[in-house]
């Protein structure tokens, strides 16, 4: 494998370590709501990134989405019968209807 672009390497590590930073990158209509979307789109669409690099970003995006879904499930599971302000804040942060 060729060397991975340093910026892509940083982005891949960020996707893994801070998946919550990428909330809003779920489907194509949601990409404009996240500050990272233009950089990710550039990797996916640019000719100067290899197919292997594009596959790495797609795999990282899939894992990020799965991790964020698990976080949302855990928020719902930990809800009290009467939502506390903290639960309301977390649900709002996840874009969940409160």
Expressed in angstroms, the distance from the first to the final Cα of the chain is 47
Residue 1 lies in a domain: no
* Total domain count, the chain: 1
Residue 76 lies in a domain: no
Position 70 pLDDT exceeds 50: yes
Encode pLDDT of 26-65 as tens digits: 665 666 677 888 899 899 999 999 999 999 999 999 999 8
Position 81 pLDDT exceeds 50: no
Residue 50 lies in a domain: yes
Residue 91 lies in a domain: no
Q: How many CB atoms lie within 10 A of CB 8?
A: 20
Measured CA to CA, the distance from residue 61 to residue 20 in angstroms comes to 12
pTM exceeding the 0.85 threshold for the entire prediction: no
Residue 21 lies in a domain: yes
Predicted confidence band of residue 1 (pLDDT cuts 50, 70, 90): very low
Residue 96 lies in a domain: no
Measured CA to CA, the distance from residue 44 to residue 31 in angstroms comes to 13
Range of the domain at 29: 6-71
């Amino acid at each position: 494998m060729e060397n991975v672009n340093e910026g892509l390497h940083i982005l891949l590590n960020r996707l893994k370590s801070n998946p919550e930073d990428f909330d809003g990158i779920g489907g194509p209509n949601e990409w404009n709501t996240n500050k990272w979307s233009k950089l990710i789109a550039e990797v996916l669409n640019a000719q100067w990134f290899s197919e292997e690099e594009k596959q790495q970003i797609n795999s990282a995006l899939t894992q990020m989405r799965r991790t964020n879904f698990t976080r949302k499930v855990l928020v719902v599971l930990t809800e009290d019968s009467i939502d506390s302000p903290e639960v309301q804040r977390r649900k709002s942060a996840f874009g969940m209807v409160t």
